[in-house]
């Protein structure tokens, strides 16, 4: 997802926490997503329609595998507490979590990473956050499987086996491939790379709109 800079909305003399600033930004800018990674604010505007369509397409195989119910749930936009800095947390686009995740709330509506079996991001204009910044963040949080739908380079990345600030296994997949995710998420899930990437591309009518992104810039 893309990031945008936002001026600090506070003018008080007393210092404020990053969490307080994040909450204030979200209150003043409904629809924005604010994360704190490595002690830095990451502010993301509302995603485009193609981004949302890709997420809908992605949820279907997880639901078909009965991962949303029983031992796990499939969620969009749930907070994941990160271990790097005291206030760090991320909000992945999609996650597969243990059914008892609500028993592991840390604070600020973010949950202990031990509950997360998979996190998934769909890129937008600032794709480096998903392919670099969040790789390190999710690896350090020991999230076992990280999937990135890379709309800029038309690839689907599957990262497994977190060690330190990286993943030992990182495989990019191109359109035409079928990708079966690790059994550790709780069921067999196979993703059609071409289908997902196609869903993530703005349609012609969208790209013609002045307010919509040009597909060539994604």
**Most confident region among 9-18, 43-52, 73-82 by mean pLDDT:** 73-82
Mean pLDDT of 43-48: 84
State how far the Cα of 189 lies from the Cα of 115, in Å rounded to an integer.
19
Q: How confident is the model at residue 4 (pLDDT cuts 50, 70, 90)?
A: low
List the end-to-end C-alpha distance of the chain, in Å, as a whole number: 10
Q: Would you say 127 and 134 are in contact if contact means Cβ atoms under 8 Å apart? A: no
Q: Torsions phi, psi of 50, nearest 5?
A: -65, -35
User: Has residue 206 got a pLDDT over 70?
Assistant: no
Q: Torsions phi, psi of 58, nearest 5?
A: -70, -35
Q: Would you say 118 and 145 are in contact if contact means Cβ atoms under 8 Å apart? A: yes
Mean pLDDT of 61-66: 97
Q: What is the pTM of this model?
A: 0.84
Q: Torsions phi, psi of 104, nearest 5?
A: -120, 35
Mean pLDDT of 128-148: 96
State how far the Cα of 155 lies from the Cα of 163, in Å rounded to an integer.
23
Question: Where on the phi/psi map is residue 30: left (φ > 0), alpha (ψ -120 to 50), or beta?
Answer: beta
User: Has residue 64 got a pLDDT over 80?
Assistant: yes
pLDDT, residue 207, reads 44
């Amino acid at each position: 997802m893309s990031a945008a800079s936002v001026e600090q909305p506070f003018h008080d003399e007393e210092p404020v926490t990053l969490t307080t600033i994040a909450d204030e930004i979200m209150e003043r800018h409904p629809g924005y997503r604010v994360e704190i990674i490595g002690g830095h604010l990451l502010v993301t505007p509302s995603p485009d329609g193609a981004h949302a369509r890709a997420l809908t397409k992605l949820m279907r195989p997880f639901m078909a595998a009965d991962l949303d119910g029983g031992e796990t749930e499939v969620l969009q936009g749930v907070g994941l507490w990160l271990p790097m800095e005291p206030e760090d947390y991320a909000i992945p686009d999609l996650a597969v979590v243990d059914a008892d995740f609500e028993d592991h709330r840390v604070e600020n509506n973010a949950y202990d990473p031990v509950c997360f079996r998979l996190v998934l991001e769909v890129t937008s204009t600032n794709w480096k956050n998903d392919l670099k910044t969040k790789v390190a963040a999710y690896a350090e949080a020991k999230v076992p499987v990280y999937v990135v739908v890379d709309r800029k380079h038309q690839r689907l990345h599957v990262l497994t086996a977190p060690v330190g600030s990286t993943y030992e296994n990182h495989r990019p997949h191109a359109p035409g491939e079928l990708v079966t995710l690790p059994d550790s998420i709780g069921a067999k899930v196979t993703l059609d790379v071409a289908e997902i990437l196609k869903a993530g591309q703005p349609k012609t009518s969208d790209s013609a709109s002045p307010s919509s992104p040009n597909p060539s810039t994604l």
